[in-house]
Amino acid sequence: MTEPVVFRWHQAEITAIAPVTPHVKSVRLRCGLAEQYRAGQHVDVRLTAEDGYQAQRSYSIASAPDGSGTLELMIEGLPDGEVSGWFSDCAEVGDRVELRGPIGGSFSWDGPDGGPLLLAAGGSGVVPLLAMLRRRAQGWREIPAALIYSTRTRAEAIAVAELERLAATDPGVSLHLAITREAGGRRIDAALVAAALARTGPPGKVFICGSNRFVAAASDLIVAAGVAPGLIRTERFGA
């Protein structure tokens, strides 16, 4: 019997590595999966050591399919993190890893799915939502989109320059930052959700991604603002 495509491991070669924040790196990989995914989906990444030891973790795809034969991941190096630590400290251009996927059909978006889009991210949970905004920019700019993005500090905000540029130049996009650990900081709250909804109008699709705690808080606030729970798709990154 033929193995389903999603369960096959694909060889991938790192073609570029660049810092995104002090703890997050952008890793671009050349891989056969590069044109087969939808914005918001993730891949499993498998590392194999010389002695055969293997470790695998899930990473969201940050890029939108662009015909380059590559896809981009954004990986936050966690203290003592087995896989993220390797990407953070050891990975080099030319290294090979394996990818499996794309995974996560319901947490994905493409232009024909429509909107408006209400997006809410905590920390590295912004990665799949960035992919959705990048996809939207490829040909669906008429669809309103608002991103609520909670991050500990501004320096830790992933792709903040790109997001701010998008919000400043595209009237259909708004960015609502909640910086939690700086002077005057705030967490995601009802006022922030109301400001985002004022820009989009009633959303057709809602995507929330981050830690368990962030996803629970954001879902509660968005439902309290009157959004039907059935429109909401969530993805949890873990701790």
Ligand X SMILES: Cc1cc2nc3c(=O)[nH]c(=O)nc-3n(C[C@H](O)[C@H](O)[C@H](O)COP(=O)(O)OP(=O)(O)OC[C@H]3O[C@@H](n4cnc5c(N)ncnc54)[C@H](O)[C@@H]3O)c2cc1C
Before 116, cis peptide (omega within 30)? yes
- Here the tokens at position 233 are 């798709």
Q: Does residue 71 touch ligand X according to CB under 6 A?
A: no
Exactly one of 81, 111, 185, 204 binds ligand X (CB under 6 A); that residue is: 81
Q: Which stretch binds ligand X (CB under 6 A): 6-14, 83-91, 140-148, 168-176?
A: 83-91
In the complex with ligand X, the residue whose CB is nearer, 60 or 150, is 60
Q: Which stretch binds ligand X (CB under 6 A): 33-41, 78-86, 108-116, 190-198?
A: 78-86
As measured in angstroms, the least distance from the Cβ of 63 to ligand X is 11
Exactly one of 41, 70, 124, 151 binds ligand X (CB under 6 A); that residue is: 124
Nearest Cα neighbor of 125 from 236, 13, 9 is 236
In the complex with ligand X, the residue whose CB is nearer, 143 or 208, is 208
Q: For 223, what's the count of Cα atoms within 13 Å in the CB-facing half-sphere?
A: 13
Exactly one of 25, 28, 38, 42 binds ligand X (CB under 6 A); that residue is: 42
- DSSP letter assigned to residue 87: H
For residues 46-65, which are near ligand X according to CB under 6 A? 57-60
CA R_g for the chain:
18
Exactly one of 20, 27, 63, 76 binds ligand X (CB under 6 A); that residue is: 76
Q: Does residue 159 touch ligand X according to CB under 6 A?
A: no
Q: Which stretch binds ligand X (CB under 6 A): 14-22, 147-155, 214-222, 231-239?
A: 231-239
Q: Does residue 238 touch ligand X according to CB under 6 A?
A: yes
Q: Does residue 85 touch ligand X according to CB under 6 A?
A: yes
What's CA 160's distance to the chain center, in Å? 13
In the complex with ligand X, the residue whose CB is nearer, 105 or 114, is 105
Which residue ranges make up the site for ligand X (CB under 6 A)?
42, 57-60, 74-76, 78, 80-85, 124, 127, 235, 237-239
